[in-house]
Amino acid sequence: MSSITIDDLYAAIRDVPDFPSPGILFRDITPLLLRPDLLDAAVKHMVAPLDGKKVDKVVAIESRGFILGAPIALALGSGLVPARKVGKLPWRTRRMEYALEYGTDAIEVHLDAMGKGDRVLIVDDLIATGGTVHAAARAVEEAGAQLLGVTVLIELAELNGRDRLPEDADVWTVMRYPRQV
């Protein structure tokens, strides 16, 4: 790992109050993305728990999950499965609806993106209430693939998002809010 510390990663996260709606405190990773050394460290921290595990597919959740999912898939030698907003994929899809802390939405994956026997890792920038990641986990299950776990850069622990995932799913996070010292 580089000389970048977890404290450096925390320092790069920008808090944006009342986005995307009043009462939401958005944890913005954009300042981290602006620095290649921080992005590299974040990706290395996110793949570290997978050392020695065979991962066939990385399901990256739109949109910031794409940013992190692509280098993670490359680092693991895995295929990349985009989990996109409805209507954005050009072929037949599997659709999963989910609840957000500020509304509802859905994601889609191509029907042929993963299948029986695939070992799958889900990647996103953040887990809050767990709705999006839970929807991605359901897509993995419906495809007959095996969910190895979920890796996220940030977890909003007070929202208990990991509780929505299958009990046997590993969840790896680099940073947690509230911050544990």
Q: d(Cα 178, Cα 181) in Å, to the nearest integer?
A: 9
Q: Is 141 a known active-site residue? A: no
CA angle 113, 116, 120 (to 5 degrees): 60
Q: Which residue reads 């419906």 in tokens?
A: 142
Q: Is 158 a known active-site residue? A: no
* Other beta carbons less than 10 A from residue 89's beta carbon: 19
Contact in structure between 156 and 27 (CB atoms under 8 Å)? yes
Beta strands in the chain (DSSP E): 14-17, 25-28, 57-61, 79-85, 93-100, 103-110, 119-127, 146-156, 170-177
Partners of 104 in the β-ladder: 99
- The single residue of 35, 62, 101, 176 carrying the catalytic annotation is 101
Q: How much helix, strand and coil, in percent to the nearest 5, is found in the chain? A: 30, 35, 35
- The single residue of 64, 84, 94, 164 carrying the catalytic annotation is 64
Active site residues: 64, 101
